Amino acid sequence: MTDTYLNLVNSGVTQKIAKQLGLPQPAPLRRHRPGTPLVAGPVLVLGRGADADALAAVLSGPAGGDPGVAARDDAALHDAVLDGWDLDVHRHPVPDTRYGAVVLVLTGLTHPDQLAGPVLAAAGVLRGLARGGRVVTVSREATADDAPALAAVRQGVDGLLRSLAKELRGGATGNGVVLREGVPPTAPSALGALRFFLSARSAFVDGQLLTVASDAGSLPASWETPLDGRVAVVTGAARGIGRSIAETLARDGATVVAVDVPAAGEQLAAVANAVRGTALQLDVTAEDAGQRILAHALQRHGRLDAVVHNAGITRDKLLANMTPDRWESVLAVNIASQLRINEALLTSGDFTEEPRIVSLASTSGLAGNRGQTNYAASKGGVVGMVRATAPLLVPFGGTANAVAPGFIETEMTARIPAVTRQVARRLNSLQQGGLPVDVAEAVAFLASPAAGGVVGETLRVCGQNLVGR
């Protein structure tokens, strides 16, 4: 659905009027198109030490990398530099330069006093950040075993990043990569997460911190087709977010099995044909849904690598007016079916080659929403499920993660009363609704080999619409 207000305040006379009246002026977001540059301008990498040097070397690539860094006895770093991203990397601010991104490497900090140098250096270039620019922090995870000062600075980065993201304008976003102790910044998933946040694929992801738990995973042969050779199932694929997920996975090289209920058969066939995949008419609440999905994938494509649990329904009512059928149907589709399908896959012996499970949660499951106790319970259940399922997949090089959309422009949100819809759009830091493709891009990243070290996480795609999250 078109956001007419966004178009009006970014063109002609109405743009001037909106500015004079002090009305919100959301900027059109920079979204991914194959072949476009990763970043819209030079990249400023701030921070001292080996980690900052290593990341700067990878971002700049062989031509601009530091030979001394690349020559160290570090095979992973050497390979990463050889596959460098060929960006124009600066290590110190250059006056009058319009940066496309700022990367703050804060992994070596041990006391909050040390934040001032790199953070204030970044502050000096934010006014000139390009439209659709990116700020990404790279830091270490705070733990209960840390010394107080160390825990303070590490946790402080989280608060800093979330607050900074709320201050950015012009469609710019701020996100963070958080490394567990022992994970190098050049680990595949650290680089994968950094690239995702720098890219236009993360247009509606803002104020998020994604933890990289290990050095598992691998970098793709091509960043344009990171899912080449993989087979992915998408449930609820006939329309809306599910259709966009199927299209995005196919664009990234995957063979897609599109799944939806028989009643959506015509739309489902159209999606499967469009992505050159196959269609499977199936009610995901069926007892044998998992076995049928696996059998279809194996018979038609010879393997199954990823399952995207997108199918979901709403049956909203205040809890005081909730009926058993409304409650039970939502829980059956949104969480019980996923648990049953996952169990079938995990016990089959045929889902063991770096498998990926990506489930659709919701910000309602994180923050709650009036009239959605059943829906929020089911989506909160998804968050808990992926956290508990992830360790079961680690021995196979697999992962389970979730994506939690906020206000996304779909047929469902188009039915919201006009005034309520406008308010909902403006509540997040980007002051607009997301698109189905924004959710699909996050799903595609988590389904990729480069996300192998991201386990049990829930990545919000909401434009940062929750206070303190």
Domain annotation covers residue 468: no
Residues 197, 326, single domain; the answer is no
Residue 386 binned pLDDT confidence (cut-offs 50, 70, 90): very high
Residues 16, 42, single domain; the answer is no
DSSP structure string for 143-167 = -TTS-HHHHHHHHHHHHHHHHHHHH
For range 420-435, the mean pLDDT? 86
Does the pLDDT value for residue 209 go beyond 90? Answer: yes
Residues 287, 408, single domain; the answer is yes
Residues 8, 53, single domain; the answer is no
Domain annotation covers residue 366: yes
Residues 206, 238, single domain; the answer is no
pLDDT digits (tens, 9 = 90+) for 307-349: 999 999 989 999 999 999 999 999 999 999 999 999 999 999 9
Query: Structurally, how many domains does the chain consist of?
Result: 3
Domain annotation covers residue 301: yes
Domain annotation covers residue 416: yes
Residues 109, 235, single domain; the answer is no
Residues 279, 136, single domain; the answer is no
Residues 275, 371, single domain; the answer is yes
Residues 267, 282, single domain; the answer is yes
Domain annotation covers residue 271: yes
> Within 65-147, where are the H helices?
67-70, 75-82, 116-123
* Cβ–Cβ < 8 Å for 428, 373: no
Residues 188, 82, single domain; the answer is yes
- Lowest model confidence (mean pLDDT) among 42-46, 69-73, 165-169, 220-224: 69-73
Calpha distance 343→249 (Å, rounded): 24
Exactly one of 196, 197, 204, 375 is catalytic; name it.
375
Residue with tokens 């998992």: 290
pLDDT of residue 65: 39
Closest to 435 measured CA to CA, from 403, 464, 402, 410? 410
Q: Is 375 a catalytic residue?
A: yes
Share of the chain above pLDDT 70, in %: 93
pLDDT of residue 75: 57
pLDDT of residue 17: 74
Domain annotation covers residue 219: no
Residues 310, 403, single domain; the answer is yes
Calpha distance 176→206 (Å, rounded): 9
Considering 23-27, 235-239, 364-368, 415-419, the range whose residues carry the highest mean pLDDT is 235-239
pLDDT digits (tens, 9 = 90+) for 38-84: 999 999 999 999 999 999 999 997 543 343 333 344 555 555 544 56
Kindly report the CATH number assigned to the domain that includes residue 119: 3.40.50.720
Share of the chain above pLDDT 90, in %: 80
Domain annotation covers residue 469: no
Residues 14, 66, single domain; the answer is no
Lay out the sheet containing 306-309: strands in order across: 278-281, 255-260, 231-235, 306-309, 356-360, 399-405, 458-461
C-alpha torsion angle, residues 218, 191, 180, 106 (rounded to 10): 160
Domain annotation covers residue 5: yes
Domain that holds residue 128: 33-210
